Structure 1
Amino acid sequence: MRSIAPGFLLREHSTFTSSCCFSSENEQANHAEQSRAAYSTKSFNTRRSSGKTQQRTEDSTDQSHPCSKIMNIFANEATQERAENARLSSFVGALALGDLVKSTLGPKGMNKILHSTTTGDITVTNDGATILKSVPLDNAAAKILVNISKVQDDEVGDGTTSCCVLAAELLREAEKLVTTNRIHPQTVIEGYRIASKVALDVLDQNARNNSSNAEAFRKDLVNIARTTLSSKVLAADKDYFANLAVDAVLRLKGSTDLDHIQIIKKPGGQLTDSYLDEGFILDKKICTSGNKSLKNAKILIANTSMDTDKVKVFGARIRVGGTAALADLERAEKEKMKAKVAKIQAHGINCFVNRQLVYNYPESLFAEAGIMCIEHADFEGVERLALVTGGEITSTFDQPEMVKLGHCDLIEEVMVGEDVLIKFSGVAAGEACTVVIRGATAQMIDEAERSLHDALAVISQTVKEPRVTYGGGCVEMFMANAVDDEAKVTKGKKAIAVESFAHALRQLPTILADNAGFDSSDLVAQLRAAHYAGQTDMGLDMQEGKIASMEDLGVYESYKLKRQVVLSASEAAEMILRVDDILRSTPRKRDGH
């Protein structure tokens, strides 16, 4: 159909009607109505024809350029988030995780209740590592922060919350730069790298080392332990537990192997009833038929069956023709067990510790031979016992010369609360010790164990890397000011990213003040001014709500901890900033489901 301009149709209609004569007004009106209907139909057909022409043109264009459409190349219902959507999803997940744990930061941080809906277990904690590993997540960026925090916990033992919060604040600043200032992520990454290097260099220059002075170094270790415990459930008794933790770690004589320090939890009493005991304590009892005390013990640690050696064939049965045959069978089993006990005696031991149960008959045989018997020891306890006594766990006894025995000066039963435990004194690993934690509730004891473990881990790492830095937000402000100075001489848009890194560092003392209920804006401004005035030991006094000298307050933190926090957080932020696609694959479907 030929396309005709609507204006021409109107003019044609007007000319035609003016040249016609009508017999009445009704005929004239009817004719006008018919003309309008004809015009509407004609215009609609014209537009439809034009639309079809345009559609055919687009179809021909699509057919000639098959790559102009975004095709789904993924199978099994896999999905893809691209460019800004992927970056926004990563930012949102990381910021949400940072906001989740930042309220637990610092000595006035709040606790979280972790309630398992499957088992009904309840955990009350402010430990970042415990919270992060317990929360189920569906966001990829949030899982990256969790993994970074796990590395922090494995490397240093503490600082997981600081690491996660700093990474989230770096990404918060990066999100503003990318979306508002339209700065490319690679430029932001370059700026963050410059700032991170400056911060780590300044941290290295201002760390102090007192390892050459034993008394001063012990004081540093106690101060670090007090700072670590200030944010834990043990804060009220931090002086007592700080000295306990330092004593335990110094027994290791420079080793960072915390397996030599055993922690036993026993409900009852109060937290200050906890104590450090030299030697190893096993949470078991000595068999009733044996002696309750033994000197100069030679210990065989085993994981073997001490009932009857069962025929391990499913459905196997033994039929006997009468009671005499049954008695013969029982006698044969006893002879077999007697031979096994004889092989164990051939090792020249006077103490037998078994991972499995020891039944009445072999127990009586051990008692007749004067061998102390300890049965059903837990797996972790057996592993630690072998470690501290210098022995090895064995399951066969045919070659006594190949078996390594454990040794200790004294084995005896001790009372801890209302329970009877076994104490191994004078073990081969002289540095081995046991911390017995007492408390009113199971939740309190569990949280005390987590708190003490963090302190032990940080102290052991400080023994290995003896440098220390100031706490209370002091070192973060010092690094932030140095990064700001670097931003003034950085060229291009990277300078904005460097400034953003400094702002993220200042968020840590800000969050510390917010969690304590203080005016964070005023305190951080005072702290910043004090550092620019040359008072580089000033930090936040979280008890009085003011700035004070961290050296006078004895607030110190491990250099390795602070370095790892900055390093891990900047690497995590860089990794997430590089994301431009998120590809999700669906779970593999089983046949028939």
Structure 2
Amino acid sequence: MGLTPQEVAAGYEQAADKALEIMPNLVVKEATDLRDLSMVKKFLRSAITSKQYDNEEIIADLVAKACVQTVPKNSYNFNVDNIRICKLLGSGVSSSMVMNENARIAVFTCPFDLTQTETKGTVLIENAEELMGFAKGEESEVESQVKGLADNGVQVVVAAGKFGDLYLHFLNKYKIMGVRLTSKFDLRRLCRTVGAQAQARICAPPVNLLGKCDSVYVKEIGDENVVVFENKGEKGNVATILIRGSSQSRIDDVERAVDDAINTYKALTKDGKVLPGAGAVEIELARQIENYGEKCPGLEQYAIKKFAYALETLPKCIAENSGMDATDLLTKLNAAHEAGQQNAGIDIWKNDIMDAAENNIFDLYAGKKLAIKLATDAAATILKVDQIIIAKQATGGPKPRGPKAQDEDDEGMA
């Protein structure tokens, strides 16, 4: 056709600018209340369906509950790390759940055991009474520490290291539950969940530094014993989504779907606008950009038309992956959009077209906008490269000269 790469790149950039100009007019809804469970579920379904087609309702319900529970007053500050994912083999995806009596919790970042000095000491014991007295002093010190915790109303002790036998004995005596949590990251999340302040040494912290939780219990799930910290209220700082499945690969697939849904919610906190999904927005953009290209007088019009043609790739792939005749379906979609049905998308169940907005199939406005912008930038950057030089290690040629052999007569000479 005789177009230079620079002209093609200019046409792509012109088409991308036009697409970004059109997109605000295609917005169908906006997430105004991210604490509305039913609204959040609708916006998360599309992200989940791409990974888990049969279980989108179950997973959307779990993720929506977890997100709504942990979203702060200013939703812009929502942190995806406040939602943890726990995977356990056994049962099915439908057995997955979201975890949330009033227990006071003391958290320690040190082992719950007797401390030992770096230097060794020697104790001279001359009789049995001195031996009994030595051990008794140690026991009384440990008991006083555990009793101090019990007097402050502590029912659960969480420590980052091992529990000593002597401490375990007195914890049992005062009916205090001990939980070992070796991960410092999990320890921080637990502190955020229960509102506790971690202590660096064994002591009886004041009540205002203790955490609170509705119930703490050990539960057997599958063949694993897990410790559950559960808050029965609807709000919390951290939530855990427990994923069940018959195989590890199945659980991993569900985890990826959950991760996509959580990040979709995060994107909605930044920009709540959504576009019709199911290929509707791509077809409408392709139609309007092609009409725009027809009106452009320069050579860029050919690149603009090819840009519009490239946008039809996504609905074409959806149709082919669903076993439909892509050519026939694209013809129906183009006819519907020409008739003014901007939200017309692909219905993979009926092998026909449908209104994507009415069926709650949405795409993120922010995600679609960035995808078009970055893809155009990448294509334009490659087209604007004048020359590519492939760097590789040189092979062949003369070998470098080695050190010259020393003359025998030179030995010992400086």
Please classify the TM superposition score into its range, dividing by the shorter chain length: 0.7 to 0.9
Give the Cα separation in 2 of the matches to 1:340 and 1:411: 25
Alignment-derived partner of residue 275 in structure 1: 97
Give the Cα separation in 2 of the matches to 1:575 and 1:311: 63
Alignment-derived partner of residue 478 in structure 1: 284
The alignment status of 1:239 with 2:239, answered yes or no, reads no
Once the two structures are superposed, the pairs formed by residues 458-469 of structure 1 within 5 Å of their partners are: 458-469=264-275
Amino acid at match of 1:202: I
The alignment status of 1:382 with 2:187, answered yes or no, reads yes
Alignment-derived partner of residue 15 in structure 2: 195
1:412-446 Cα shifts (integer Å, max 9, x gaps)? 33343444333323389933433222111111112
Aligned residue among 168, 180, 183 for 2:4: 183
Alignment-derived partner of residue 107 in structure 2: 301
Q: How far 1:495 sits from its partner (Å)?
A: 2.4
Bigger radius of gyration: 1
1:214-259 Cα shifts (integer Å, max 9, x gaps)? 99x7555333332222222x32122232233223322234633233
Alignment-derived partner of residue 70 in structure 2: 252
The alignment status of 1:405 with 2:210, answered yes or no, reads yes
Q: Is the 8 A contact 2:41 2:60 kept in 1?
A: yes
Amino acid at match of 1:206: L
Q: Is the 8 A contact 2:85 2:240 kept in 1?
A: yes
306 and 243 in structure 1: CA distance in 2 versus 1, 3 angstrom threshold: closer
Aligned residue among 172, 180, 183 for 1:367: 172
1:543-590 Cα shifts (integer Å, max 9, x gaps)? 23222222343322222232232233223333444444467587xxxx
The alignment status of 1:502 with 2:320, answered yes or no, reads no
Alignment-derived partner of residue 86 in structure 2: 264
1:350-407 Cα shifts (integer Å, max 9, x gaps)? 1220122212122223334553321145444323211211223342457957994322
Give the Cα separation in 2 of the matches to 1:441 and 1:463: 34
Q: Secondary structure at the match of 2:335?
A: helix
Aligned residue among 174, 190, 198 for 1:393: 198
For the aligned residues, what is the CA RMSD?
Answer: 3.9
Deviates more, 1:368-377 or 1:529-538: 368-377
Alignment-derived partner of residue 223 in structure 1: 42
Q: Secondary structure at the match of 1:305?
A: coil
Amino acid at match of 2:92: Q
Q: How far 1:502 sits from its partner (Å)?
A: 1.4
Give the Cα separation in 2 of the matches to 1:340 and 1:504: 75
Q: How far 1:181 sits from its partner (Å)?
A: 4.2
Q: Is the 8 A contact 1:343 1:398 kept in 2?
A: no
Give the Cα separation in 2 of the matches to 1:258 and 1:193: 34
1:28-75 Cα shifts (integer Å, max 9, x gaps)? xxxxxxxxxxxxxxxxxxxxxxxxxxxxxxxxxxxxxxxxxxxxxxxx
The alignment status of 1:550 with 2:332, answered yes or no, reads no
Q: Secondary structure at the match of 2:372?
A: helix
Q: How far 1:523 sits from its partner (Å)?
A: 1.9
Give the Cα separation in 2 of the matches to 1:429 and 1:582: 60
1:78-106 Cα shifts (integer Å, max 9, x gaps)? xxxxxxxxxxxxxxxxxxxxxxxxxxxxx
533 and 242 in structure 1: CA distance in 2 versus 1, 3 angstrom threshold: same
Alignment-derived partner of residue 331 in structure 2: 525
566 and 349 in structure 1: CA distance in 2 versus 1, 3 angstrom threshold: farther
Give the Cα separation in 2 of the matches to 1:418 and 1:540: 43
Give the Cα separation in 1 of the matches to 2:9 and 2:68: 42
Q: How far 1:451 sits from its partner (Å)?
A: 0.9
Q: Secondary structure at the match of 1:435?
A: strand
The alignment status of 1:539 with 2:345, answered yes or no, reads yes
Structure 2: 5+ residue stretches without partners: 394-414
Give the Cα separation in 2 of the matches to 1:440 and 1:414: 19
Deviates more, 1:221-230 or 1:267-276: 221-230
Q: Secondary structure at the match of 2:214?
A: strand
Give the Cα separation in 2 of the matches to 1:358 and 1:192: 65
497 and 405 in structure 1: CA distance in 2 versus 1, 3 angstrom threshold: farther
Deviates more, 1:385-394 or 1:335-344: 335-344
Q: How far 1:471 sits from its partner (Å)?
A: 0.8
The alignment status of 1:338 with 2:142, answered yes or no, reads yes
Amino acid at match of 1:227: S
Q: Is the 8 A contact 1:390 1:429 kept in 2?
A: no
Q: Is the 8 A contact 1:300 1:349 kept in 2?
A: no
Q: Secondary structure at the match of 1:407?
A: strand
Q: How many residues align?
A: 385
Give the Cα separation in 2 of the matches to 1:484 and 1:433: 47
Give the Cα separation in 1 of the matches to 2:24 and 2:272: 12
Q: Is the 8 A contact 1:308 1:337 kept in 2?
A: no
Q: Secondary structure at the match of 1:536?
A: coil
Give the Cα separation in 2 of the matches to 1:456 and 1:227: 12
Structure 1: 5+ residue stretches without partners: 1-179, 280-294, 587-593
Q: How far 1:192 sits from its partner (Å)?
A: 2.2
What TM-score, normalized to structure 1?
A: 0.56
Give the Cα separation in 2 of the matches to 1:473 and 1:513: 10
370 and 381 in structure 1: CA distance in 2 versus 1, 3 angstrom threshold: same
Q: Secondary structure at the match of 1:357?
A: coil
Higher helix share: 1
Alignment-derived partner of residue 421 in structure 1: 226
Q: How far 1:409 sits from its partner (Å)?
A: 3.2
Amino acid at match of 1:408: C
Give the Cα separation in 2 of the matches to 1:347 and 1:181: 87
Alignment-derived partner of residue 34 in structure 1: none
323 and 201 in structure 1: CA distance in 2 versus 1, 3 angstrom threshold: farther
Q: Is the 8 A contact 1:346 1:400 kept in 2?
A: no
305 and 205 in structure 1: CA distance in 2 versus 1, 3 angstrom threshold: same
Amino acid at match of 1:196: A
Give the Cα separation in 1 of the matches to 2:350 and 2:298: 43
Alignment-derived partner of residue 58 in structure 1: none
Aligned residue among 353, 369, 384 for 2:158: 353
Q: Is the 8 A contact 2:145 2:203 kept in 1?
A: no
Give the Cα separation in 2 of the matches to 1:196 and 1:337: 73
